[in-house]
């Protein structure tokens, strides 16, 4: 191979992308405060007054279904002296600040402030909550801290149709199981790990075993800001046999840190990689099923997933973080093959391109 050919290979990012505190701080503004961030399944806010509090890019947000039936998100900052006024989840028509009991309705309007009538010039209507963007995509609720962000369906053009096709019942499903771990690794290492199947046959022996998901058929197709993963599977189909794709494995990754996955047998999970620090991330997998459909067999499958595919990736992510922290680390080649097969690392390359663009860097 000539030196020229070598230099044309796509490479992993430099170490500072995964280890530098300043990069981490900038990512919060340039990426997490400007992208659609998943906050929960719509079942958490199905009825008027349903609410929950979510953390996004260092902000606490109140997500609520208004009395008028609209999804709303507000910064969790009281308009009086700034206290966080909401916590947890539940159902209510008014949110009262614990400090001086200013009270807001589900549209974020200030509807009560003690002693207001005796303060000259004070008008309730001048002090509502600050709203932030919120949208639903096929049962999944996302917020965006950037008021100028493109609408979610435009940002992820074509994705909703794929979710409707592969997981038609997703908006009606109910949460059944959570697997979660804090990992010593930058969030990008975890996302990159998810976005290539070069390691699948080596590491995930039970998931990609004979008769289960076929590693040879695994394909990842990048569509701009979302990627589609599809693979054939020999899993027994249970549940929604009516879906043309019930026997397939499918996953849809969304820039920057979220994916929906259809597990063979019409089990659906969503996963999120949330940065905790430059070198640590929280990985969460939430499983959804039709209401009252979960059996002991399903629960055994959730446990098996937690003990195999989920667990198997963690030491790899941590090993990469430790290696990248070494003075000896230098960017290595991404193994992008001609046909973008299941072994190819082209999706990692695509994610790194999105990262460079967002961060306005050429590193
Ligand atoms: S800070 Fe909320 S009522 Fe005073
Ligand atoms: Fe993996």
CATH of the domain at 74: 2.102.10.10
Parallel/antiparallel/unpaired status of strands 71-75 and 37-41: unpaired
Answer whether residue 22 is part of any domain.
Answer: no
| Res 236: pLDDT | 67
Q: Which of 12, 125, 45, 52 has its CA nearest to residue 351?
A: 12
Assess whether 114 and 166 both reside in one domain: no
* Structure token digits, residue 34: 């400007």
Judged against a pLDDT cut of 90, whether residue 277 lies above it is answered with: yes
Range with the lowest mean pLDDT among 102-116, 117-131, 262-276, 311-325? 262-276
| Res 188: pLDDT | 98
Answer whether residue 34 is part of any domain.
Answer: no
53 C-alpha to ligand 1 centroid (Å)? 18
79 C-alpha to ligand 1 centroid (Å)? 7
Residues 109-137: what's their mean pLDDT?
A: 98
Task: Give the Cα separation of 230 and 44 in Å (integer).
Answer: 29
Judged against a pLDDT cut of 70, whether residue 7 lies above it is answered with: no
Shortest-distance atom of ligand 1 to CA 100: 3
Assess whether 251 and 137 both reside in one domain: no
Domain that holds residue 192: 157-359
Testing ligand 1's pocket by substitution, the residue of 95, 100, 112, 122 carrying the most ligand atoms inside 8 A of its CB is 100
Residue 241's pLDDT band, with cuts at 50, 70 and 90, is low
Judged against a pLDDT cut of 50, whether residue 196 lies above it is answered with: yes
| Res 117: pLDDT | 96
132 C-alpha to ligand 1 centroid (Å)? 20
Q: Note the ligand closest to the C-alpha atom of 317.
A: 2
Range with the lowest mean pLDDT among 207-211, 244-248, 252-256, 260-264? 244-248
CB–CB of 3/102 below 8 Å? no
Start-to-end C-alpha separation, the chain: 25
Answer whether residue 117 is part of any domain.
Answer: yes
Q: Which residue has the higher pLDDT, 125 or 234?
A: 125
Structure-derived torsion over alpha carbons of residues 228, 234, 237, 240, reported in degrees to the nearest 10: 20
197 C-alpha to ligand 2 centroid (Å)? 7
Assess whether 209 and 84 both reside in one domain: no
Judged against a pLDDT cut of 60, whether residue 14 lies above it is answered with: yes
Answer whether residue 16 is part of any domain.
Answer: no
83 C-alpha to ligand 2 centroid (Å)? 42
Query: Percent of the chain at pLDDT above 70?
Result: 95
100 C-alpha to ligand 2 centroid (Å)? 50
Ligand 1: which residue has its CA nearest to atom 3?
A: 100
Answer whether residue 84 is part of any domain.
Answer: yes
| Res 149: pLDDT | 98
Q: Note the ligand closest to the C-alpha atom of 102.
A: 1
Residues 6+ apart with CB under 8 A from 27: 275, 359
Domain boundary among 144, 172, 194: 144
Please provide the DSSP assignment of 280-319 as one string: EEEEEEEEEESTT---HHHHHHHHHHIIIIIHHHHHHHHH
Testing ligand 1's pocket by substitution, the residue of 62, 102, 104, 119 carrying the most ligand atoms inside 8 A of its CB is 102
| Res 2: pLDDT | 41
What is the overall mean pLDDT for the chain?
Answer: 94
201 C-alpha to ligand 2 centroid (Å)? 9
| Res 239: pLDDT | 54
Residue 182's pLDDT band, with cuts at 50, 70 and 90, is very high
Structure-derived torsion over alpha carbons of residues 39, 43, 45, 48, reported in degrees to the nearest 10: 170
* Structure token digits, residue 279: 């070198």
Q: Note the ligand closest to the C-alpha atom of 218.
A: 2
Q: Which residue has the higher pLDDT, 208 or 239?
A: 208
Testing ligand 1's pocket by substitution, the residue of 99, 116, 130 carrying the most ligand atoms inside 8 A of its CB is 99
**Length of the chain, in residues:** 363
Q: Note the ligand closest to the C-alpha atom of 197.
A: 2
Q: Using the structure block, give the residue that is written with the tokens 């000259």.
A: 120
Assess whether 246 and 346 both reside in one domain: yes
Residues 179-191: what's their mean pLDDT?
A: 98
Ligand 1: which residue has its CA nearest to atom 1?
A: 81
| Res 205: pLDDT | 92
Judged against a pLDDT cut of 50, whether residue 3 lies above it is answered with: no
Judged against a pLDDT cut of 70, whether residue 4 lies above it is answered with: no
Answer whether residue 219 is part of any domain.
Answer: yes
Residues 123-137: what's their mean pLDDT?
A: 98
CB–CB of 151/135 below 8 Å? yes
The ligand 1 site (C-beta within 6 Å) comprises 78, 80-81, 83, 85, 97, 99-100, 102
pLDDT digits (tens, 9 = 90+) for 159-169: 999 999 999 89
Residue 312, classified by CB atoms within 10 Å of its CB into exposed (0-12), middle (13-18) or buried (19+), is: middle
Residues 137-155: what's their mean pLDDT?
A: 98
Q: Note the ligand closest to the C-alpha atom of 101.
A: 1
Answer whether residue 29 is part of any domain.
Answer: no
Give how far Cα 253 sits from Cα of 100, 144, 222, 260, 271, Å: 43, 17, 9, 7, 9
Answer whether residue 24 is part of any domain.
Answer: no
Residues 192-218: what's their mean pLDDT?
A: 91
CA 296 to chain centre: 27
| Res 218: pLDDT | 94
| Res 216: pLDDT | 87
Judged against a pLDDT cut of 90, whether residue 33 lies above it is answered with: yes
Ligand 1: which residue has its CA nearest to atom 4?
A: 100
CB–CB of 349/27 below 8 Å? no
Please count the structural domains in the chain. Answer: 2
CATH number, domain with residue 261? 3.90.380.10
Judged against a pLDDT cut of 60, whether residue 189 lies above it is answered with: yes
Testing ligand 1's pocket by substitution, the residue of 79, 81, 84 carrying the most ligand atoms inside 8 A of its CB is 81
Assess whether 275 and 335 both reside in one domain: yes
pTM for this entry: 0.95
Q: At what angle do helices 346-359 and 187-194 cross, to 10 degrees?
A: 150
């Amino acid at each position: 191979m000539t030196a020229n050919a070598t230099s044309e290979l796509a490479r992993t990012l430099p170490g500072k992308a995964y280890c530098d505190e300043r990069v981490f701080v900038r990512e919060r503004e340039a990426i997490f405060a400007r992208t659609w961030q998943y906050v929960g399944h719509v079942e958490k806010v199905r009825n008027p007054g349903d609410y929950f509090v979510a953390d996004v890019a260092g902000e606490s947000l109140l997500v609520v279904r208004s009395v008028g039936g609209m999804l709303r998100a507000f910064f969790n900052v009281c308009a009086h002296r700034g206290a966080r006024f909401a916590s947890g989840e539940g159902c209510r028509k008014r949110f009262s600040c614990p400090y001086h009991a200013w009270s807001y309705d589900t549209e974020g309007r200030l509807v009560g402030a003690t002693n207001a009538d005796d303060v000259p010039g004070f008008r309730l209507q001048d002090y509502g909550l600050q709203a932030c963007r919120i949208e639903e995509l096929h049962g999944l609720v996302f917020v965006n801290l950037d008021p100028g962000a493109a609408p979610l369906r435009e940002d992820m053009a074509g994705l909703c149709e794929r979710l409707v096709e592969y997981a038609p019942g997703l908006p009606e499903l109910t949460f059944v199981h959570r697997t979660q771990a804090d990992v010593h690794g930058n969030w990008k290492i975890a996302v990159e790990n998810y976005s290539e199947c070069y390691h699948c046959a080596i590491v995930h022996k039970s998931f990609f075993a004979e008769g289960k998901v076929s590693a040879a058929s695994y394909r990842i197709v990048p569509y701009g800001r979302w990627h589609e993963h599809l693979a054939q599977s020999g899993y027994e189909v249970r549940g929604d046999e009516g879906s043309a794709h019930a026997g397939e494995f499918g996953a849809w990754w969304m820039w920057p840190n979220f994916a929906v996955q259809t597990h063979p047998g019409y089990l659906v999970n969503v996963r999120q990689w949330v940065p905790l620090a430059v070198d640590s991330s929280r990985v969460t997998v939430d499983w959804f099923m039709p209401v009252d459909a979960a059996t002991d067999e399903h629960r055994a499958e959730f446990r098996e997933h937690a003990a195999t595919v989920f667990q198997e990736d963690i030491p790899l992510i941590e090993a990469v973080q430790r290696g990248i922290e070494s003075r000896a680390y230098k960017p290595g080649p991404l193994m992008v093959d001609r046909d973008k097969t299941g072994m190819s690392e082209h999706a990692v390359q695509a994610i790194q391109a999105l990262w460079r663009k967002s961060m306005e860097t050429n590193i």
